[in-house]
Amino acid sequence: MKIIQLSLLGALLASSAAMAQTQLDESEVRISYAELKRLLAASHPAVEAKVKAPPPVPAALLSAVYRLDAKKGEIIAEMQTQSFLEGWQSIPLAGASTGAVSLDPAEARVLVQNEHLCLLTDQTGLTSLKLTFPAVWPQTLHLAPSAIAVLEVASLPENHVLRLSNGLIIRQNGRHALPAIGGEVTMSLEDAKKEPSPLADEAILTSASYATQVVRDGSVLTEGILLVRHDQPLHIVLTLPESAQLLQCRVNDALIRPGIPNGARLEIPLDDAATDGSESKIELSFTSTLPALQPTEGELTLALPQTPLFAKQIDWEVQLPVGFDTTAIGNIENLSQAADSKAGLHLRKSLCRDQQPQARVSYRKRTN
């Protein structure tokens, strides 16, 4: 009997608990949004905040373009800076030896610090400004380090050249690279008529050997080796033929990038010959494009680089596709083909100065 009573009691308690759970499931709980946000945050694991590493430099001068107007007698430096960190930064712009005569925008904070004109700013991001300097000759630019540093020449006086202390001679308007590491560059404006013929006594082209290959579609490749005798470090000038494009240039087996101040005009630096012997070796290659060769006969014009150097001897081999007979006329000498030499034209220019070897080549399909 007790067992039956206990069983009935247990069933009654279970039924009561089920009814209570049902009532709880259907009940509503009202809490504030702040309490809900706290409960949700507590239900998620804590996430460590990532701290962004600071930039390697707090600020920098990104670019500096010096626009020279020699006729007006002024240099306008257009500069762009960037501050990467919040707070005050001092950004060097240029040397303070030559003071600026105007500033744009006028509200920019430019002051002298550590012998430099510096932009003082508390704004992050890019800033553009212009400084105007007087152009007095000789003119020295005191450059601050900048990834992009350019001298842009406009309105160069007639019959004048601009000579830079790094050896560059500018004869026409245009854009020219300046040292990105900064430093001083001195410019002088000179009368072109009084300009001495450079290199005439300082260097001699003792020999030059060129090989030109022409294929049927008109593509031309020319490769040359030049030996230059000189005693002091200097820059020699080579002017490539019209529409030619430089492929590669080496000096004493070291690859270089010659300065190209004006179109195809190259300025190639030569070190002290005492370190490499009495002569420096220049190797260069360039390409050009002519009209495609005719299937039976035709003519084409070829040329070599021009230099003001005195040249003792320039040898030139010209190769056209197999199956053509060729002849050439021009300011060159045709040499008879040696028994052990390659087929093609063998040309020579001797004892010349500041001349460009040229050849008008006639070709005819071989019939036998």
- Any idea what the CATH number is for the domain that residue 78 is in? 2.60.40
Residue 10: which pLDDT band, with cuts at 50, 70 and 90? Answer: low
Name the more confident of 169 and 220. 220
The mean of the pLDDT values for the chain is 83
Same domain, 341 and 259: yes
Could you tell me if residue 172 is inside a domain?
yes
CB 324 within 8 A of CB 270: no
Geometric angle at alpha carbon 290, from 289 and 291, rounded to 5°: 130
Could you tell me if residue 303 is inside a domain?
yes
Same domain, 259 and 183: no
User: CA-CA distance, 316 to 310, in Å (whole number)?
Assistant: 17
Query: Which stretch of 29-38, 244-253, 355-364 has the lowest confidence by average pLDDT?
Result: 29-38
Model confidence at 24: pLDDT above 60:
no
Domain range for 222 is 203-365
Q: What percent of the chain has pLDDT over 70?
A: 83
What does each C-alpha distance from 58 to 213, 249, 337 come to in angstroms? 54, 39, 68
Q: What are phi and psi of 215, to 5 degrees?
A: -105, 175
pLDDT of residue 71: 81
Could you tell me if residue 84 is inside a domain?
yes
Same domain, 188 and 288: no
Q: Which of 172-176, 264-268, 304-308 has the highest mean pLDDT?
A: 304-308
Could you tell me if residue 221 is inside a domain?
yes
Look at residues 194, 223, 248 and tell me which one is the last residue of a structural domain: 194
Could you tell me if residue 83 is inside a domain?
yes
Q: What percent of the chain has pLDDT over 90?
A: 42
Could you tell me if residue 295 is inside a domain?
yes
Same domain, 169 and 90: yes
Domain holding 243: CATH number? 2.60.40.1730
pLDDT of residue 321: 93
Other Cβ atoms closer than 10 A to 240: 22
Name the more confident of 47 and 267. 267
- Give residue-wise pLDDT tens across range 192-213: 766 455 444 578 999 999 999 9
pLDDT of residue 31: 74
Look at residues 194, 214, 237 and tell me which one is the last residue of a structural domain: 194
Residue type, 207: S
Q: What is the DSSP string of 53-90?
A: PPPSSSEEEEEEEEEEETTTTEEEEEEEEEE-SSS-EE
Model confidence at 69: pLDDT above 80:
yes
Model confidence at 294: pLDDT above 90:
yes
Query: Which residues, listed in sequence order, are joined to residue 330 by a DSSP beta bridge?
Result: 359
The mean per-residue pLDDT over the stretch 208-224 comes to 96
Same domain, 107 and 249: no
CB 264 within 8 A of CB 258: no
pLDDT of residue 89: 93
Could you tell me if residue 107 is inside a domain?
yes
Same domain, 213 and 358: yes
Same domain, 179 and 239: no
Name the more confident of 171 and 166. 171
Same domain, 254 and 302: yes
Same domain, 97 and 170: yes
pLDDT of residue 27: 65
The mean per-residue pLDDT over the stretch 143-157 comes to 88
pLDDT of residue 165: 76
pLDDT of residue 73: 86
pLDDT of residue 199: 47
Same domain, 236 and 334: yes
pTM of the model: 0.48
User: CA-CA distance, 175 to 54, in Å (whole number)?
Assistant: 36
Look at residues 194, 214, 236 and tell me which one is the last residue of a structural domain: 194
Same domain, 123 and 157: yes
> Is 181 exposed, middle or buried, given 0-12, 13-18 or 19+ CB atoms closer than 10 A?
exposed
pLDDT of residue 339: 55
Same domain, 242 and 322: yes
pLDDT of residue 105: 94
pLDDT of residue 7: 57
pLDDT of residue 337: 73
Total domain count, the chain = 2
Residue 281: which pLDDT band, with cuts at 50, 70 and 90? Answer: very high
Could you tell me if residue 250 is inside a domain?
yes
The mean per-residue pLDDT over the stretch 285-304 comes to 93
